[in-house]
Structure 1
Amino acid sequence: MPGEDYAEAVRISFGEVPDLPFLPELPDRGVTAGMTGRTLAMVTDLGFDLQPAGWRLTDASGVDHRRARSLLAHDLDVLEEHAQDYAGELKVQVCGPWTLAATVERPRGDRLLADAGARRELGEALAEGLEAHLADLRRRVAGARLVVQVDEPALSAVLAAQVPTSSGFGRHRSVDPAGASAGLEPVFAAIERAGAQSIAHCCASNAPVALLRGAGAGGVSIDLDVLAAEGYDELGSAFDEGARVFLGVVPSVQPPVIPTERQVAERVLRLLDMLGFDPEEVGAQLVVSPSCGLAGASPEYARTALTLVRDSAVRLRGD
């Protein structure tokens, strides 16, 4: 979400999408509040610090890592205060292990992606930290049924050897699908052990839906605007298997003409018809969502986008 007022972001979340409110991320507050910093705040068994090139694995937690933890604790306090009597689904999110490995540096430089041992250690520490984070959320919001979105925007680049080295002159070697799945499995397993539902989000055109499902994701979240033709078969298989599907059909930043709820609903219905599904048959699996995060939107449009996904979902249900 855009802005720096966390309490207001929580109020908007619960007010505009009451059927699936979420724990907001507000990266406008600085790097400790961004996707990577937010997730590293959950990782307590490893140390990190902020360097000019970004986050780096260190022997002990630096001041910025401690600030990220403090900020997350503050935000959870705000959520707890607002959601004391809430009962229902609550979505939270975490940066996935491959995107972390592609963005966090090793102690001696370059990405953790280049070191199989270091990235495995990071994935295991992430799984453990996430499990503790979800236990804390359950304590704070006892009536919540947690849905955990694992954000993997860099996974397609990792698979295709498109992640640049620190020098910018080369690319990290590709990770094969079996290795990529093995890296994801501990995180999805930790979510399952915590009694939560996992959703894997990848907004790339070649989002590896089948790989994510095979690694244990209970559902997938994709951007329909960029999904390549070959991705539709895997999306259809996800529906067939009973997976939860988050369809990104509302622009993340304001377009020249904002679609109406009718237009959004009709677009979803056309997709389901093309895949051969009856809306009533898969309605319980389907979530209408923005195509990606709303941090780049204006505050006014962010609220509009959330209202639009809510009203489009109501229209699809026929309420």
Structure 2
Amino acid sequence: MHEFPWAEATATGIGSHPGEDHVEALRVVFGELPVPYLPELPGRGVGADMIGRTASLLVELPVEVQPSGWRFTDRPGRDFKRARDHLSRDLDALEEVAQGYAGPLKIQVCGPWTLAGAVELRHGDKTLADPGAVRDLVESLAEGVATHVAEVRKRVPGAEVILQLDEPGLPGVLAGTVRTASGFGRLPAVEPMPAAERLRTVLRAAEPARAPGKGAGQGGDGGSSEGKGSGPFTIVHCCAPDVPFQVLRTAGAQGISLDAALLRRRDEDHIGEAIEAGMAFLLGVVPGTDSRLPDIGVVARPATELWRRLGFAPARLARQVVLTPACGLAGASPAYARAALATCAKAARVLREDPGE
């Protein structure tokens, strides 16, 4: 089993937050969570959304906003600069709020397949429609992600970086349900193996340079403890139904983040295999929008009951499972966002105190 970068009975968030105050959002996640992260605040406008924020990391592939959404362009313009400025300010604030911090720190970027299904080519087709364009996007994103991880490590030297790729669009890419740019057709399904290979390229982006012919982290089997010369611990978040567990394992993800409410019994064989292989599971157990938060025992129940049904040793639960909200918190009120994170942190202790026995 992997060595995880967090302690037992832990919790984190998915990524997005409400409002426009990025400093306050950082103070909330560092104040409420054992595993803090760099929040995203899409409410700030163009370039602060998941697609624009990640597109700003692309190397030599500038983007702009059109009425239909983000599109590649010939040269960086105002929208690209806005996205870069948002991220730069966030990193400045992270450096200030996290001063002296040592421990796990999660960052999120949009995964390559969701990005390819959202950003259009210069002439209007979605990037996903052109395999060559997908390849270029993946290579550019991998380079940008490596630079981003290095920048976070420079700003927070004590951080054990956790890299999360957000892939809510991946099930649709594999099923062939992503609509064309016109909206009247559907793009062909991508086969699982190419999907895994492209995902692996980005997941490995921040690994240290290797001598030619030497692999690392095949299938996610490498050790995950951070340190000089080691890559980040990698997670793929998919808050959609039909999470492609086998694709994510093949790609080498070391953890999977998902909404516990969307799990079905038929998923449990895949989950059991992944747990047996040592993967971490980040289970979304509270709603991402304002609602009444239940007792912490009820919040923890999806994790404890799943563990009991699968028959794993109770002692592993609090180490291998991390509790989170079901998805991002951008649609919540600031008060609820804080309460949801605090509730996840409290409920995580139940995994250690009453581990599904």
Query: What range is the shorter-chain TM-score in?
Result: over 0.9
Matched residues in 2 for 1:107 and 1:229: separation? 43
Q: Does 1:230 align with 2:245?
A: no
**Correspondence 1:25-64 to 2 at 5 A:** 25-64=40-79
For the residue of structure 1 that corresponds to 2:47, the secondary structure is: helix
For the residue of structure 2 that corresponds to 1:230, the secondary structure is: helix
Distance 1:247 1:145, change over 3 A: same
**Correspondence 1:278-317 to 2 at 5 A:** 278-317=313-352
Deviations 1:77-132 (A, max 9, x none): 00001111000000100000000000000010021000000111001100000000
Match of 2:130 in 1: 115
- Bigger Cα displacement from structure 2, 136-145 vs 258-267: 258-267
**Correspondence 1:1-319 to 2 at 5 A:** 1-17=17-33, 19-193=34-208, 195-255=231-291, 257-318=292-353
Matched residues in 1 for 2:77 and 2:190: separation? 30
RCO (CA 8 Å, sep 6+): is it higher in 1 or 2? 2
Aligned pairs, how many? Answer: 317
**Structure 1 residues not aligned, in runs of 5+:** none
Matched residues in 2 for 1:168 and 1:43: separation? 26
Matched residues in 2 for 1:26 and 1:269: separation? 32
Matched residues in 2 for 1:211 and 1:68: separation? 30
Q: Judge conservation of contact 1:99–1:152 (CA < 8 Å) in 2.
A: yes
Matched residues in 1 for 2:294 and 2:331: separation? 18
**Deviation of 1:275 (Å):** 1.1
Matched residues in 2 for 1:237 and 1:140: separation? 37
- Bigger Cα displacement from structure 2, 56-65 vs 149-158: 56-65
For the residue of structure 2 that corresponds to 1:133, the secondary structure is: helix
Matched residues in 2 for 1:191 and 1:219: separation? 16
Matched residues in 2 for 1:248 and 1:262: separation? 14
**Deviation of 1:232 (Å):** 1.5
Matched residues in 2 for 1:156 and 1:74: separation? 33
**Deviation of 1:234 (Å):** 1.1
- Match of 1:197, as an amino acid? F
Matched residues in 2 for 1:216 and 1:313: separation? 26
- Match of 2:25, as an amino acid? A
Q: Judge conservation of contact 2:204–2:231 (CA < 8 Å) in 1.
A: no
**Deviation of 1:315 (Å):** 2.4
Q: Judge conservation of contact 2:62–2:80 (CA < 8 Å) in 1.
A: yes
- Relative to the length of structure 2, the TM-score reads 0.86
**Deviation of 1:48 (Å):** 1.0
Greater per-residue helix proportion? 1
Identity %: 50
Deviations 1:239-296 (A, max 9, x none): 11111110111111123x4211111123321110011113312321110111111111
**Deviation of 1:228 (Å):** 2.9
Matched residues in 1 for 2:181 and 2:57: separation? 25
Matched residues in 1 for 2:150 and 2:302: separation? 38
Q: Judge conservation of contact 2:318–2:348 (CA < 8 Å) in 1.
A: no
For the residue of structure 2 that corresponds to 1:33, the secondary structure is: coil
For the residue of structure 2 that corresponds to 1:246, the secondary structure is: strand
- Match of 2:136, as an amino acid? E
**Deviation of 1:299 (Å):** 1.2
- Bigger Cα displacement from structure 2, 58-67 vs 103-112: 58-67
Q: Judge conservation of contact 1:50–1:62 (CA < 8 Å) in 2.
A: no
Matched residues in 1 for 2:59 and 2:136: separation? 12
Q: Judge conservation of contact 1:191–1:198 (CA < 8 Å) in 2.
A: no
- Match of 2:298, as an amino acid? Q
- Relative to the length of structure 1, the TM-score reads 0.96
C-alpha RMSD over aligned residues: 1.3
- Match of 2:294, as an amino acid? P
**Structure 2 residues not aligned, in runs of 5+:** 1-16, 209-229
**Deviation of 1:157 (Å):** 0.5
